[in-house]
Amino acid sequence: MKTDLLKFTDQGGCSAKIPPAQLEEVLKNLPIPVDPDILVNIDTHDDAGVYRINNDLALVLTTDFFPPVCSDPYEFGQIAAANSISDVYAMGGNPVLALNIMMFPAGRLPMEAYSEILRGGFDKASEAGVKIIGGHTIDDAVPKYGLAVTGFVNPSLLVTNAGARPGDWLILTKPVGTGIIMAGHRLGMASDADLEEAKLWMKMLNRSGAAIMTNHSVTGATDITGFGLAGHAIKMARASKVSLSINMRNVPLISKTLSLADDGCLPGACFTNLDYCESETDFSDNLDYSLKMIAFDAQTSGGLLISAPAGTGEKMVAELKEAGLTCTAIIGNVSSYNGKLLYLDN
Ligand code: CO
Ligand code: CO
Q: pLDDT value at position 195?
A: 96
- Four-CA torsion 255, 261, 262, 268, nearest 10 degrees: 170
99-138 pLDDT tens trace: 999 999 998 999 999 999 999 999 999 999 999 999 999 9
Give the predicted TM-score (pTM) of the model. 0.94
- Kind plus residue range of the DSSP H or E element containing 232: helix 228-240
Q: pLDDT value at position 1?
A: 59
Three-state DSSP at 334 gives strand
Q: pLDDT value at position 35?
A: 94
Question: Angle at which helices 73-89 and 192-203 pack, to 10 degrees?
Answer: 40
State yes or no: is 14 an active-site residue. Answer: yes
Task: Select from 75, 188, 54 the least CA-distant residue to 121.
Answer: 75
Q: pLDDT value at position 193?
A: 97
Low-confidence ranges of the chain (pLDDT < 70): 1, 12
Q: How far is the CA of 161 from the centre of ligand 1 (A)?
A: 10
DSSP for 252-311 reads -B-TTHHHHHHTT---HHHHHHHHHHGGGEEEPTT--HHHHHHTTPPPSS--EEEEE-HH
- What are the angstrom distances between the C-alpha of 194 and each of 171, 172, 180, 199? 24, 21, 11, 9
Q: How far is the CA of 63 from the centre of ligand 2 (A)?
A: 6
288-301 pLDDT tens trace: 999 999 999 999 99
Annotated catalytic residue within 14, 70, 265, 277: 14
Strand 281-283, strand 342-345: pairing: parallel
d(CA 231, CA 301): 15
Q: Which ligand is nearest to the CA of 91?
A: 1
Q: How far is the CA of 305 from the centre of ligand 2 (A)?
A: 14
Q: How far is the CA of 88 from the centre of ligand 2 (A)?
A: 9
Q: How far is the CA of 302 from the centre of ligand 2 (A)?
A: 11
Q: Which ligand is nearest to the CA of 90?
A: 1
**Ion ligand 2 — residues with CB under 5 Å?**
64, 87
